Amino acid sequence: MLRYTELSAHPSRIPRVRSFEINPEGKAFIRRSPGSRGSMREQSVSLLLLILLAAILIIGFDSLRQREPQGSSKCPRVNALFCPEDGCSRAIISLFDRANETIDVAVYSFTHPDIAEALVRAKERGVRVRVILEAEQLTSYSQYGRLRSAGIEVMLDRNEYLMHDKFAIIDGKVVVTGSFNYTVAADERNDENLVIISDESVAERFEGEFEEMWKGVYGR
């Protein structure tokens, strides 16, 4: 059997040595270096270790994500309106008309007839409606009488100071608050803001405040 060695080189590469053998039948073949199989085996092991490491990282990430408190990354949906251009009364009426279970309102001044009628419609659908009004705002324009005549629970604020809140909670899920009083002036002339927050945890905070006022407790 004849053997010979070929040395090839490239300017940018390390010289490579290849060994050839010619067997008795005259056929030539490349003789692999003793370390070539070991090198391939090492590459296979390295690849397997990388795959295992990637799998461990993925499993660990999923495990950490499952341990996060449910809803911890959930952000409330918030919409801000400015009146008169954004139609605050229309937004409030739309929310009241979609209420299914409860509407709780605490508002300083309530003279807007269309908002009052939205509460009356809700009451007629079987929604529990409760309203707290500031006693000093009980004027001839107040919707207090209309609400009471429709069977809606209305309470005049018993705090010795002003009840200056302007908020509503719908179905324990949505809060409507801001500077907007339920008046035609606020809806059509004044510069007002209305913020609609769709978040149960925020609604729970407002509901707690409403319940305190409803019971005559004012945090003092």
- Asked whether residue 207 is assigned to any structural domain, the reply reads yes
Highest mean pLDDT (candidates 7-21, 39-53, 137-151) = 137-151
* Residue 220 located in a structural domain: no
Residue numbers annotated as active site: 164, 166, 171
Residue type (1 letter), 206: F
- Condensed to tens digits (0 to 9), the pLDDT of residues 103-131 reads 999 999 999 999 999 999 999 999 999 99
Query: Average pLDDT of 77-106?
Result: 97
Residue 108 lies in a domain: yes
Looking at residue 9, the DSSP 8-state letter turns out to be -
pLDDT in tens, 155-200: 999 888 899 999 999 999 999 999 999 999 999 999 999 999 999 9
- Written as one letter, the residue type at 89 is S
The answer to whether 65 and 59 have CB atoms below 8 angstroms apart is no
Query: What is the residue whose two structure tokens read 């100071």?
Result: 161
Beta strand ranges found along the chain (DSSP E)? 2-8, 16-22, 28-31, 77-83, 102-107, 128-133, 153-156, 166-170, 174-178, 192-198
| pLDDT-wise least confident of 17-26, 136-145, 157-166 | 17-26
What is the reported pLDDT for 69? 44
Q: Are residues 52 and 112 in the same domain?
A: no
Same domain, yes or no: 62 and 151: no
The helix (H) or strand (E) run that includes residue 184 is helix 184-188
What's the CA gap between 121 and 143, in Å, rounded?
A: 14
- Give the pLDDT of residue 87: 95
Measured in whole angstroms, the distance separating CA 204 from the mean position of its chain's CA atoms is: 16
Within-domain flag for 11 = yes
Q: Long-range contacts: 73-78, Cβ < 8 Å, 24+?
A: 76/197, 76/198, 76/199, 76/201, 76/202, 77/197, 77/198, 77/199, 78/195, 78/196, 78/197, 78/198
pLDDT in tens, 38-80: 566 677 767 777 787 777 777 765 655 555 444 444 677 999 9
Same domain? 117 vs 202: yes
Q: Are residues 120 and 163 in the same domain?
A: yes
Instruction: Note the pTM of the prediction, 2 decimals.
Output: 0.66
Cite the DSSP H helix spans in 98-180: 113-124, 144-149
Residues 36 and 164: their CA atoms lie apart, in Å, by: 85
CATH number of the domain residue 145 falls in: 3.30.870.10
Comparison of pLDDT for 37 and 193, the residue scoring more: 193
Residue ranges making up the domain that contains 160: 77-214
